[in-house]
Amino acid sequence: MVQLVARKLDEREQLGAKSFPTPANQWRKHRTLKEIDRDVASGLNQLLLTPNSRHWAGIETLSPAQKVPTALELMQARRRGENCPEEFDRLMEPEKDRKAAELREQGRREQLERIDYASLNQIEALMNPDGIRPKLDDQD
């Protein structure tokens, strides 16, 4: 689909560069250009590259006016007294949720590492009941 749109744009550019001497041919050129424009617009809609097509598909986009403030910006606004403590807490919820998820994931990774080390120690203890480590060829 992307290649089709690109080809249509190239075709439009080539046709636009040509000049036709008779009014009938100019009319055909304009009609063809409009058809190509419709095909390009349709392709862009199918690829969800226009705001209306994204909205129709249920994809929400943020406009620059709806910019989500960062944690630093929220803390600075709180310090300047631009928002009350309740509003600050409400606005910080997504950041707190993200941080909590990050900490949970980090805790899971650390727990798995501890389990892996413990398992390796148990395996080594089972393989060497006397606690003597085997001497490798490259160790002296």
| pLDDT tens digits, 6-62 | 888 888 888 777 777 777 788 888 888 899 899 888 888 888 888 888 888 877 766
Whether the per-residue pLDDT at 93 is higher than 60: the answer is yes
Whether the per-residue pLDDT at 139 is higher than 70: the answer is no
Whether the per-residue pLDDT at 108 is higher than 80: the answer is yes
- Banded pLDDT at 113 (limits 50, 70, 90): confident
Are the beta carbons of 15 and 34 closer than 8 angstroms? no
Q: What is the pTM of this model?
A: 0.40
> Residues of 41-72 as b/e, b for ≥16 C-beta within 10 angstroms?
eebeeeeeeeeebeeeeeeeeeeeeeeeeeee
DSSP tag of 62: -
pLDDT of amino acid 19: 75
Higher pLDDT, 105 or 60: 105
Are the beta carbons of 5 and 44 closer than 8 angstroms? yes
For all residues of the chain together, what is the average pLDDT? 78
Lowest average pLDDT, out of 50-59, 78-87, 111-120, goes to 111-120
Higher pLDDT, 6 or 121: 6
**Could you tell me where the beta strands, DSSP code E, fall in 2-140?**
none
Lowest average pLDDT, out of 12-16, 72-76, 95-99, 128-132, goes to 128-132
Domain boundaries, the chain: 2-56, 71-127
